[in-house]
Structure 1
């Protein structure tokens, strides 16, 4: 048996299949306005600044998504909003991947593009609804996203780490939370009209 003479420390990865070479070795960063404006990916992933808050950035990002959707409806048709969402998914995947690596955290809470695009999907598929219906959709989505019951927890654990797999993982659990929200809304409409 030969002695081990060259031992390199291993970098942390949250998932065995994660891209170890992309994992940052230094301490995590806290995003600021300066960080937000340093790269287009930061601007997108941090929800155009809605994810910068210290308290409940996911909730703030979802509120921003709700407001942005209502404004978008004034200028875009439902089909155009659908195309915007379709483009927002791969762009968001890229932005979340880059921003997570730059923040040195695999799934930072300040990245809110996952909430934004997932809640846009909920509103796009469930509209038209009045204020109370939209508020119910918001509350359901936040519940599924924060509490992570069953399938949302599974999706959250599926793709962790840095690199494209981790970027997709940031989006995936929120997409599953959107699906769960839509399922509850559909059952409610079926039962109570």
Structure 2
């Protein structure tokens, strides 16, 4: 048996050349795929008794709101979230509404009474004011999978001289969960 070295060398060279081009061809087709995203907590449900509730201040006397900064008594109310998933441990409410001109911590009156605004605060201390853009966080109660936002509101005459008429204002709460 006789082996032709030139022919064998030529075949090895051609095989090497083919592998080199194949390797380079595969290298040119390498792509990167970036995977991104966020994991968020599932939402709680707003309790039906908390949706679109009305805080009624009843009938107030204009003479009690004549001095600048005079205010009505606080009216306590609450907003409750329920059916929170087991992994959710905190709820944050962000407050929004039409601010009173010159003071974003107060909400404007859309009723007919002049020179009054609505002030909202946490009902525990009444010092943490919940004006437009502010927020409030509460922990989720583990056994009940719910949370309560304890709030209070009052009518205030920032500059005094409250005029007679109706009181009407809307405050919205947007919830996020952790």
TM-score, structure 2 as length reference: 0.27
More strand by share: 2
Higher helix share: 1
